[in-house]
Amino acid sequence: MKTIKIGTRGSPLAVWQAEWVRSQLLALYPEHEVKVVKIKTTGDKIADVPLAQVGGKALFVKEIEVALLNGGIDLAVHSMKDMPAEIPSGLCIGAVPKRENPLDVLISRNGYSFKDLPKGAHIGSSSLRRGAQVRHVRPDIKMHPLRGNLDTRIRKLETEGLDAIIVAAAGVRRLGLEAHITEYLPEAIMLPAIGQGALSIEVREDDDFRRLMAPLDHMETRLAVESERAFLGRLEGGCQVPIAARAGVIQNLVELTGMVAEVDGSVLLREAITGPADQHEKLGVELADRLLEMGGREILKKIEVRDQRSEV
């Protein structure tokens, strides 16, 4: 009997995701034993500082990727939105299962929808992407840093006197917490994070686990996510920038919408592109280039200069 070791973060949502993959593998390969190995990441250890100030989402995958490269685990399960644009040499995304709902949701303390929140309402979210889009539509709203596991963030809605929080629908649904949802935020207001709602099953490039993961791959989700990640890869320059993208696959076409914004939401650039599915990554790069020409390049430069000053 071969033991397959799945690496994951230890949060309830991360464990749920790893256990789901475990159940799929047991159904596919009943002759194998499948274990979940919890690994504490730097992102989990630094729970009281916005990610933009301490190195970004890569902090949630680095230690897990090291264990994968060293052979301590056989595959890793991540939230796709936690995956940096660059994947370490020797690793690859072996499978992308079917995507959950990619939208963000509003969880409101008094049941108010986003448009009905009182003037000057206080919303919790540490995401620069969410903050920029909220401020663009409702400059009156006050954004407050909010980190922690999903249940912690829901609890802070009450304990920190917030009017609402914004979180990913996928996590809420996977943990069976839909009763807390006040509103699914439409993409016209809140474009999702790159890869939001999708899982990334990361494997070593040179072993059999890539082949074993193939049945879990959902082609439409993979095409959409790879399009979004090509957009991210073209734009990402080492600094933390409010970026969003959402792709959908209809027959043989990919429809991709992307966004780049100033942190304060004063400028928000948004554009869409449609093209053949076999050109999906080129579409992501082309859309990024369009936004750079529309003024995105200036936004990136301005934020990069701001980051450099903060490090002095």
Distance CA 165, CA 181 (A): 10
Distance CA 87, CA 82 (A): 12
Q: Is 48 exposed, middle or buried (0-12, 13-18, 19+ CB in 10 A)?
A: exposed
By annotation, the residues acting in catalysis are: 82
Nearest to 3 by CA among 38, 39, 29, 40: 29
The Cβ of residue 276 has, within 10 Å, a number of other Cβ atoms equal to: 11
What is the enclosing helix (H) or strand (E) of 154? helix 150-159
Question: Order of strands across the sheet with 33-38?
Answer: 33-38, 3-8, 75-79, 199-204, 91-95
Q: Which residue has the tokens 């999702």?
A: 192
